Structure 1
Amino acid sequence: MPETAQFVDPRRWKALIFIALAQLMVVLDATIVNIALPSAQADLGISDGNRQWVITAYALAFGGLLLFGGRVADLWGRKQTFIVGLIGFAAASAVGGAALNTGMLLGARALQGAFGALLAPSALSLLAVMFTDPKERAKAFGVFGAIAGGGGAVGLILGGVLTEYMDWRWTFFVNIPFAIIAAIGAVAVIREPVESHNSSRLDIPGVILATTGLVSLVYGFTRAESDGWSAGPTVGLFVAAAVLLLAFVVVESRVKAPLLPLRVVADRNRGGVYASLALAVIGMFGLFLFLTYYMQVVKGYSPVKTGFAFLPMVAGMITGSTQIGARLMTRVPARLLMGPGFLVASVGMLLLTQIDLDTSYPALILPGFLLLGLGMGTAFMPAMSLATHGVQPRDAGVASAMVNTSQQVGGAIGTALLNTIAASATTEYAKSHAAGAPSRTALQLQSMVHGYTSAIWWAVGILALAAVIAITFVNAGQPKGGGAVAGSSGEGAAEDAVPVMAH
């Protein structure tokens, strides 16, 4: 294939600032509301049965519509989709902050998720088509990977500060200045190559099947957490998800302009990236939840102190992403960063299985957080880049959407799966140790900690599995200047190995 001229935008580094700002807003919104939820529940009189929907409404809309959002970006332009996503996200946040009742808040959260599904894949695919030089791409994705990995912890800090010193409504209103600055910046400096657009028609059957299938899957895990794995509605949702997603694959293999071209996921490297990222996020999401409750309920930390306790993990992620991943990505194959990165993170997680009622933060939790952050940052960065590297320009948006989809679905699965494991371990421990307990409160706290550590042990295994998948499936070599992914293999690799013009 003849070499294609590279698209080089002189303002791309300025554009990175606004793309990163938008990504930070989307990622931190996944956790910022968690800390504010008890206050919002009390203020609006949300029932215990409905409070999970404040989190679930966002996850369902976001996870279910991501592939649609990625394809819209490919068809109608990434810059336009990015700006529409920002404006919509800001408007939905304003409605959430001004919510007068449960329905208004839940509707706002679902709208946030829907516009986030436009915003997230268009942000990542803009980077993919604007940064084409391997060294520049490494730096850009280093910044993006650090934000994608650390944004959740930043959300915990910001959520704690806003809830404790202002009002829970500010966890919504804070998105508005983020979105306005990012939108103005996008209009002023973002330029994308016109030739990277896809002129095909939107695959409506694919949109319906993918959205309903992913919503069924995410909702199934949510119901498993509340009703149990063998409950009728849970099983029904999983069966429906399997049927719908299987039908989606069949439709995509036959239609002329598919929503998700199977060549995108059939490539061995991208398939390995999507699977290992989903597994890593399963472990991470559960940890955020357990450690937040551990520090507030068991250790008695305030929301602000809890948020700041997560800061070393964020620092580790930024260091791993920008100093290790970005510097080595152009020198060593991606699997030699992803595999060891996930293993280092699993060692950090292993340390955190040792938490107890009187655990010292500096002696145990701090080194665990640092290792977890370093490992995740090192692994996330090449994973984000490789997921969109070697993709045909017309597929950049949907390939980016698959990264976000694997993270969102992984997060929903992780929260439900690890919560269920923790809850059952807590109950069993309380029953078996009731006789010798010094007090009921001590038994409750010890049972809670036992439940958390049991779930964290699972997270250790899941991270180790992510490392094995990354080392086994990801076989791309280090990027060569101006070329496709070196050593790309798997079905569709030859077809996708276009020059690095607009990956």
Structure 2
Amino acid sequence: MDRTSILKVITLMVTAFGIGIDFTGALMLVPAIENSFDADITSTQWVLNIYALFFAMTMVAGGRLGDMYGHRKMMIIGLSIFLFASVLCFVSPGLDYLIGARALQGIGAGCVWPCTLAFGATKVSKPEHRALVMGLILAGVTTGNVFGPMISGAVVNFGDWRMFFLANVIFACISMVTAIILMEKETQHKKGEHIDFAGMGILSFAVLLLLYGLDVGADWGWTSVPLLLLFFVSAILFFLFPRVEKRVKEPLLLPQLMQNREFLITLGLNMFNVSAVFVGLLYFPQYMQKVLGWSVFQSALGLAPLTVLLAVGSIISGTLYNDFGPKRLLVWGYICVTAGAASIVVMPAGLGYLQILPGMTLMGLGATLTVGPSGTAAVCAVKPERAGLVGGLSFMTHLVYGAISVACATAVMYVTSLASLRNQLSADGISMSDADQRALNGGTLTTDSATAVLAKLNSAEAEKVKSAIASAFDTGMNMAFVFATLSVAVGILLAAKLDEKKLHKVEG
């Protein structure tokens, strides 16, 4: 690549780095947020889920607006929104306020990310460099994934998790300056485009109601009438979505793309590769803090086998894409992720960090062979003027399914861990109300609610309860990975069915 192209790639990597820091860094803050707002995991999971959902649903619009008005312009607008939302996160007085600010962050990131991918896919010097550039951009975001937990760990050690969001402000400013200076303004844009707000709205509400139902199911009762009505409305919206898409002028799912079997398979491959990784990013740090007793910073270092492999592997997968093609990379990648998720389930309890280390390593290796190639295959399969749209569409499916996976896994985890805690307390002869058991389950022992419950016990009983909680969390996490294993295994079948030759004839 020439010097100009290299500078452009550096700019895109800096932007991706800032987005990567926010995603994993915020996950590491979950126990600290639970303590600060006296919440449990079913509530704090929204710090991840609401961001992923709004990120996902904004990406298609952000990509299409970039195609219409310029990817550089939309990147700068998105970074401005992201910066403002980061300030709101910093001053959040409560969990609901924080969740709302995270939703706004997702909107900003959703404008930035597809335009970053599209700029990298269309503005490099030679077409044969495209896969390498995409790999470098993904390396930027995954390198941010590595440093994000370390930054959040450091700020928690200083005593205030809110300081993490100041790092977001700093990197958003850096990204804006480099984009303004190093990226030239585009003069030619796609004209006559329309944005499918109706489709995005229906799909967003369908997913949001599904996630909310999975969140409150344990409290409302899984067979309660209000919950069943919630799921029913969500199902109706999912049912209406394809019918609305047939009536709009420019649907989210373009007919010429959706009629191609290989392209649909590729979208599926963008979905299923995130199940185990998203669940791992949420639960591995909590396992290290709640079961092993590690600090946030120690947990960040413990997560490195997953995050470092994601960062390094993004570059490697970009160089391997042209040599081996997406199919072989995806098949072996999905096998590795499935084996890693399954290892969490079968590894015996009591091994400490070694219980999750093999799984983290296999999942990190497998994710490097699936995330980049699946996204690159989708973007490279269309005309350049559709790159922003398809980049947004592929990562939309990626993040929406990731949010759904986390919600499903958390529902399974919470119910399983609560049942385990109840059984162990009964075996230890400790009587405790259902309300007190719920206060202890799924959160940290230092929340106000948990502290009040433990204060009712003598020292011997308190130690037994702490041991039961750690064991219950481990049991619940294992069941969450049963769901993740089954979900990721679907990707092996899809990858085996992929026909690369037909895939690259889309819109040909």
Q: TM-score range by the shorter chain?
A: 0.7 to 0.9
Deviation at 1:377, TM superposition (A): 0.6
Change over 3 Å in CA distance of 1:144–1:169 after alignment to 2: same
* Letter of the structure 2 residue corresponding to residue 122 of structure 1: C
* Letter of the structure 2 residue corresponding to residue 311 of structure 1: A
Which residue does 2:190 correspond to in 1? 197
Change over 3 Å in CA distance of 1:422–1:432 after alignment to 2: same
Deviation at 1:312, TM superposition (A): 1.8
Distance 1:238 1:148 in 2: 34
Pick from 357, 363, 384 the counterpart of residue 393 of structure 1: 384
Distance 2:227 2:20 in 1: 28
Which residue does 1:380 correspond to in 2? 371
Cα contact 2:193–2:250 (8 A) shared by 1: yes
Cα contact 1:35–1:163 (8 A) shared by 2: no
Cα contact 2:27–2:281 (8 A) shared by 1: no
Deviation at 1:393, TM superposition (A): 2.9
Deviation at 1:255, TM superposition (A): 3.2
Pick from 357, 363, 372 the counterpart of residue 366 of structure 1: 357
Deviations 1:273-321 (A, max 9, x none): 2212322212211122222221111111111000100112222223333
Task: Tell me the secondary structure at the aligned position of residue 358 of structure 1.
Answer: coil
Cα contact 2:57–2:200 (8 A) shared by 1: no
Which residue does 1:85 correspond to in 2? 78
Deviation at 1:388, TM superposition (A): 0.6
Deviation at 1:95, TM superposition (A): 2.3
Which residue does 2:89 correspond to in 1? 96
Pick from 412, 416, 419 the counterpart of residue 425 of structure 1: 416
Which residue does 2:480 correspond to in 1? 455
Distance 2:218 2:278 in 1: 14
Which residue does 1:169 correspond to in 2? 162
* Letter of the structure 2 residue corresponding to residue 397 of structure 1: G
Cα contact 1:63–1:117 (8 A) shared by 2: yes
Distance 1:463 1:50 in 2: 25
Distance 1:200 1:455 in 2: 42
1:347 counterpart = 2:339? yes
1:244 counterpart = 2:255? no
Deviation at 1:336, TM superposition (A): 0.4
Deviations 1:472-498 (A, max 9, x none): 1x221xxxxxxxxxx124xxx75612x
Distance 1:170 1:144 in 2: 26
Distance 2:209 2:63 in 1: 20
Change over 3 Å in CA distance of 1:440–1:41 after alignment to 2: closer
Deviation at 1:38, TM superposition (A): 4.6
Distance 1:50 1:449 in 2: 19
Which residue does 1:475 correspond to in 2? 499
| Structure 1 range deviating more: 95-104 or 450-459 | 95-104
* Letter of the structure 2 residue corresponding to residue 353 of structure 1: V
Distance 2:284 2:313 in 1: 22
Correspondences of 1:75-154 after superposition (within 5 Å): 75-101=68-94, 104-131=97-124, 133-148=126-141, 151-152=144-145, 154=147
* Letter of the structure 2 residue corresponding to residue 85 of structure 1: G
1:262 counterpart = 2:255? yes
Which residue does 1:156 correspond to in 2? 149
Change over 3 Å in CA distance of 1:275–1:132 after alignment to 2: farther
Change over 3 Å in CA distance of 1:329–1:446 after alignment to 2: same
Distance 2:213 2:118 in 1: 30
Deviations 1:232-258 (A, max 9, x none): 444434433343344332233343333
Task: Tell me the secondary structure at the aligned position of residue 274 of structure 2.
Answer: helix
Distance 2:422 2:39 in 1: 28
* Letter of the structure 1 residue corresponding to residue 502 of structure 2: S
Deviation at 1:172, TM superposition (A): 1.0
Distance 1:57 1:349 in 2: 24
Count, aligned residues: 473
* Letter of the structure 2 residue corresponding to residue 467 of structure 1: I
Cα contact 2:69–2:189 (8 A) shared by 1: no
Change over 3 Å in CA distance of 1:177–1:252 after alignment to 2: same
Q: Kindly report the root-mean-square deviation, in angstroms, between the aligned alpha carbons of the 2 structures.
A: 3.0
Change over 3 Å in CA distance of 1:356–1:448 after alignment to 2: farther
Distance 1:132 1:244 in 2: 44
Which residue does 2:322 correspond to in 1? 330
Deviations 1:188-236 (A, max 9, x none): 2224765552432334433433443443344444444654554444443
Which residue does 1:406 correspond to in 2? 397
Change over 3 Å in CA distance of 1:454–1:311 after alignment to 2: same
Cα contact 1:320–1:375 (8 A) shared by 2: no
Distance 1:462 1:106 in 2: 27
Cα contact 2:199–2:245 (8 A) shared by 1: yes
Change over 3 Å in CA distance of 1:347–1:405 after alignment to 2: same
Cα contact 1:18–1:181 (8 A) shared by 2: no
Distance 1:266 1:357 in 2: 47
Distance 1:353 1:176 in 2: 39
| Structure 1 range deviating more: 188-197 or 77-86 | 188-197
Deviation at 1:97, TM superposition (A): 1.2
Deviation at 1:178, TM superposition (A): 0.9
Distance 2:386 2:218 in 1: 35
* Letter of the structure 2 residue corresponding to residue 159 of structure 1: S
1:33 counterpart = 2:26? yes
Cα contact 1:353–1:457 (8 A) shared by 2: yes
Task: Tell me the secondary structure at the aligned position of residue 255 of structure 1.
Answer: coil
Which residue does 1:483 correspond to in 2? none
Distance 2:152 2:406 in 1: 19
**TM-score, normalised with respect to structure 2:** 0.83
Cα contact 1:312–1:369 (8 A) shared by 2: yes
Task: Tell me the secondary structure at the aligned position of residue 323 of structure 2.
Answer: coil
Cα contact 1:12–1:190 (8 A) shared by 2: no
* Letter of the structure 2 residue corresponding to residue 422 of structure 1: M
Distance 1:231 1:147 in 2: 45
Distance 1:261 1:17 in 2: 32
Distance 2:174 2:331 in 1: 37
Task: Tell me the secondary structure at the aligned position of residue 99 of structure 1.
Answer: coil
% same residue: 24
Deviation at 1:365, TM superposition (A): 3.5
Cα contact 2:54–2:107 (8 A) shared by 1: yes
Distance 1:216 1:237 in 2: 7
1:488 counterpart = 2:502? yes
Which residue does 1:5 correspond to in 2? none
